[in-house]
Amino acid sequence: MSAKRPRQRRRIPAALLVPAVAGLAFLVLPLVGLLARAPWTEIPSRLAEPDILAALRLSLATATAATALSLLFGVPIAWLLARGDFPGRGLLRALVTVPLVLPPVVGGVALLLVFGRNGIVGAWLYDRFDVTIPFTTTAVVLAMTFVSMPFLVVSVEGALRGADVRFEEAAATLGAGRWTVFTHVTLPMIAPGVLAGAVLCWARALGEFGATITFAGNFPGRTQTMPLAVYLALQSDLEAAIVLSLLLLAVSVAVLASLRDRWTAAAA
């Protein structure tokens, strides 16, 4: 089955190579620009600033929480879209992707209109339980979840569509009920797709700015995530902003790389 063929070097067609290289340059050059402009000597002192560490910690924690929430709700949504057989499924799919298209700032306003003090749900929460969501860490997580969950849903739905339903039928003939089939067969088989979706979702949440600042405001340690800190730094000090961006970038790349190593190790 897994006989290794001698590796053959095949020429890559120029029609693919040229746009690929151009595209890569387009993606990588801005990063090069940041690196070239970075005041390297200032980095250690910047990292020692308590506000920056607080923002970084908050970013990592909230992006992870948003990813967890997206998994909790997004995987069932994806299942519904991929396997459900009901009228209006196409409309539902379009609705799920709305946050992808909506400018995040508008998403933030929309969240305020729902969960704000005068919002549809928020007013009830405020009157009933004296709970306000805007300007809290919860609001950060909600804003991130709102903009990043579609990435997870789209990715998982694709994986579900690609998965062979017959394995699920085989599991049923072996005595597995629907839920067991899902947890023991479907989910393990689409795990790579779920992971890819979760990574996308996490990355998007980590970079989230517009909806967060609109819905959660900006308060150091509570709602000021790295992108907010970067944006505010940009108001007064370009180089500080670059340092913070690079820090965010480095941490996210490190997290994703270690995750990937662990994942490929587990799969082997």
Is 261 a binding residue for another protein by CB under 8 A? The answer is no
**Binding test (CB under 8 A) with another protein, winner from 59, 70, 155, 223:** 223
How far is 27 from 19, CA to CA, in rounded Å? Answer: 12
Instruction: Find out whether 134 and 153 touch, Cβ atoms under 8 Å.
Output: no
Q: How far is residue 153's CA from residue 146's CA, in Å, rounded to a whole number?
A: 12
Q: Does 125 bind another protein (CB under 8 A)?
A: no
**Part of the chain binding another protein (CB under 8 A), chosen from 8-16, 81-89, 154-162, 214-222:** 214-222
Instruction: Indicate the residue among 87 and 177 with the shorter CB distance to another protein.
Output: 177
Which residue, 92 or 191, has its beta carbon nearer to another protein?
191
Q: What are phi and psi of 208, to 5 degrees?
A: -65, 135
Q: Which one of the spans 64-72, 90-98, 142-150, 236-244 is the region binding another protein (CB under 8 A)?
A: 236-244
Nearer to another protein, 12 or 239 (CB): 239
Which residue in 46, 161, 220, 249 binds another protein (CB under 8 A)? 220
CA dist 86 and 74 (Å) reads 18
Detail the DSSP E strand segments found in 141-207: none
169 touching another protein, by CB under 8 A: yes
Find the binder of another protein among 112, 143, 144, 203 (CB under 8 A). 112
Complex with another protein: residue 49 or 255, whichever CB lies closer: 49
What secondary structure letter does DSSP report for 7?
A: P
Dihedrals phi, psi of 243, to nearest 5 degrees: -60, -45
- Give dist(CA 113, CA 215) in Å, integer: 9
Q: Does 116 bind another protein (CB under 8 A)?
A: yes
DSSP letter, residue 4: P
Q: Rule CB under 8 A: is residue 217 a binding residue for another protein?
A: yes
Among 180, 195, 196, 255, binds another protein (CB under 8 A): 180
Report the distance separating Cα 182 and Cα 167, nearest Å. Answer: 11
Among 17, 170, 250, 254, binds another protein (CB under 8 A): 170
Q: Which residue in 255, 241, 141 sits closest to 203, CA to CA?
A: 255
User: Could you identify the residue written with the tokens 């969960």?
Assistant: 115
Q: How far apart are CA 159 and CA 34, in angstroms?
A: 35
Residue 109, interface with another protein (CB under 8 A)? yes
Q: Is 233 in the site for another protein (CB under 8 A)?
A: yes
Residue pair 144/66 in contact (Cβ under 8 Å)? The answer is yes
Q: Which is nearer to another protein, 1 or 16 (CB)?
A: 1
Tokens linked to 153: 């849903």
87 binds another protein (CB under 8 A): no
Q: Does 106 participate in binding another protein (rule CB under 8 A)? A: no
218: left (phi over 0), alpha (psi -120 to 50) or beta: beta
Binding residues for another protein, per CB under 8 A? 1-2, 29-30, 33, 36-37, 109, 112-113, 116-118, 134-135, 164, 166-167, 169-177, 180, 184-185, 188-189, 191, 213-214, 216-220, 223-224, 228, 231-236, 238-239
